[in-house]
Amino acid sequence: MDCIFCKIIKGEIPSARVYEDEDMIVIRDIAPQAKYHYLAIPKKHFADVTEMTEEDAVLVGRMLRKIGDIAASLGLEGGFRLVSNKGADAMQSVPHLHIHILGGEKLSDKMC
Ligand code: DGP
């Protein structure tokens, strides 16, 4: 499958990986929109929240809990914002579910 995030997971495309476990990798976003901008990417490929099975929902729930666990180690002690885009209106550019993790500074209150 020609998926950029699957290639990053396999190590075929380099990335700044800050965390990895059996469920997911967390990498630095290539075009940061905050002081700290990470992407939590499940190792299993599915396009977005509308394509999740019940099993995927459990996986994503686990990812959220782990993001909470590792947040402080990523410099996010002051708080963080999670975003997962789906589709054209949200400007999703990579059709492999991912959760943006933004923080390290006061974020704009314009969105969310
Ligand atoms: P979205 O628009 O929600 O689909 O976000 C995709 C994000 O992925 C976007 O913020 C830029 C990031 N991105 C795209 N290609 C790469 C890459 O090759 N490496 C890294 N680290 N991030 C990437």
* CATH number of the domain residue 39 falls in: 3.30.428.10
* pLDDT computed for residue 1 by the predictor: 75
* pLDDT computed for residue 52 by the predictor: 96
Residue 105 has pLDDT above 90, yes or no: yes
For ligand 1, mutation pick of 3, 8, 29, 51 (most atoms within 8 Å of CB): 29
Q: Categorize the per-residue pLDDT at 111 as very low, low, confident or very high, splitting at 50, 70 and 90.
A: confident
Q: State which ligand 1 atom lies nearest to the alpha carbon of 28.
A: 21
| Ligand 1 center–CA 87 separation, angstroms | 14
Look at ligand 1, atom 8, and give the residue with the nearest C-alpha.
Answer: 29
pLDDT, tens digit (0-9, with 9 covering 90-100), for 81-99: 999 999 999 999 999 999 9
What range defines the domain where residue 45 resides?
4-111
Q: From residue 22, how far is each of 3, 12, 13, 37, 110 by CA, in Å?
A: 19, 18, 19, 22, 35
Q: How many domains does the chain divide into? A: 1
Percent of the chain with pLDDT over 90: 96
Residue 110 has pLDDT above 90, yes or no: no
Looking at the whole model, is its pTM more than 0.95? Answer: yes
Tokens found for residue 7: 């290639």
Look at ligand 1, atom 20, and give the residue with the nearest C-alpha.
Answer: 30
Q: Please state the rounded mean pLDDT for residues 25-54.
A: 98
Q: For residues 40 and 98, is the Cβ–Cβ distance under 8 A?
A: yes
Is the beta carbon of 112 within 6 A of some atom in ligand 1? Answer: no
